[in-house]
């Protein structure tokens, strides 16, 4: 065994993984961008229409509507879209909890040996060869070892004593994945 980590995962860790995934996965990035532009364009169209009506009629109410629509589109384009994505993640997690268990174990042990990754979670044990790893990504709070487009081992950065240990592990895991996928 080359590396072994024991740690607890929380709802916050799972939330951060989903947030990272939505902000970085190509399909979700495109969806967020399209959503942002669609609503922003609709608000901009509404505000320009209201400005036109104001210029023709001179009604103060249309000016207020135009300014409000312009402000909403600006705020949304700047970052409200991510806020709504966070609300959707939290809502989905609540539904999943209500329906059963979340797809992660609270108490985890992950071993990285020469040939494979072995995860011991609350009620499950999984073993995967390094060839099953699609990519390894270091986020703000964890290292995500993706085994497909939407699933990953979550390894909190708190398991590393120092940045040098994290970098040594990243070198190790990336080398193993590269060797296995040649």
Right CATH for 3-9+105-180 from 3.40.50.2030, 3.50.50.60, 3.40.50.150, 2.30.29.30: 2.30.29.30
Q: Cβ–Cβ contacts within 10 Å for residue 144, how many? A: 19
Angle at 29 between CA 23 and CA 33, to 5 degrees: 115
- Residues 46-84 have pLDDT tens digits of 777 766 776 777 677 767 777 777 777 666 666 666 677
Radius of gyration of the chain (CA): 23
Angle at 179 between CA 178 and CA 180, to 5 degrees: 90
Mean pLDDT value across the chain: 82
Helix (H), strand (E) at residue 135: strand 135-138
What is the share, in percent, of the chain residues with pLDDT greater than 70?
78
As annotated, the residues of the chain forming the CATH 2.30.29.30 domain(s) are: 3-9+105-180
> What CA–CA distance (Å, rounded) separates 132 from 56?
64
**Residue numbers in the chain where pLDDT is lower than 70:** 1, 25-37, 39-40, 43, 50-51, 54, 58, 62, 73-82
> What CA–CA distance (Å, rounded) separates 154 from 146?
9
Sequential DSSP letters for 140-170: SSEEEEESSSS-EEEEEGGG-SSHHHHHHHH
């Amino acid at each position: 065994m080359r590396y072994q980590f024991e740690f607890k995962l929380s709802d916050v860790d799972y939330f951060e993984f989903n947030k990272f995934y939505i902000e970085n996965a190509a399909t979700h990035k495109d969806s967020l961008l399209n959503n942002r532009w669609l609503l922003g364009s609709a608000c901009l169209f509404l505000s320009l229409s209201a400005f036109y009506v104001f210029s023709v009629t001179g009604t103060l109410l249309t000016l207020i509507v135009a300014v409000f629509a312009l402000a909403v589109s600006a705020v949304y384009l700047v970052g409200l879209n991510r806020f709504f994505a966070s609300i959707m993640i939290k809502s989905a997690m609540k539904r999943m909890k209500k329906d059963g268990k979340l797809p992660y174990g609270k108490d985890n042990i992950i071993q990285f040996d020469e040939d494979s990754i072995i995860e011991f979670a609350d009620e499950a044990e999984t073993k995967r060869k390094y060839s099953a790893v699609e990519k390894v990504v270091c986020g703000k709070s964890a290292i995500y070892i993706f085994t497909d487009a939407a699933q990953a081992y979550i390894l909190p950065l708190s398991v590393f004593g120092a940045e040098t240990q994290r970098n040594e592990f990243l070198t190790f895991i990336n080398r193993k994945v590269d060797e296995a996928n040649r």
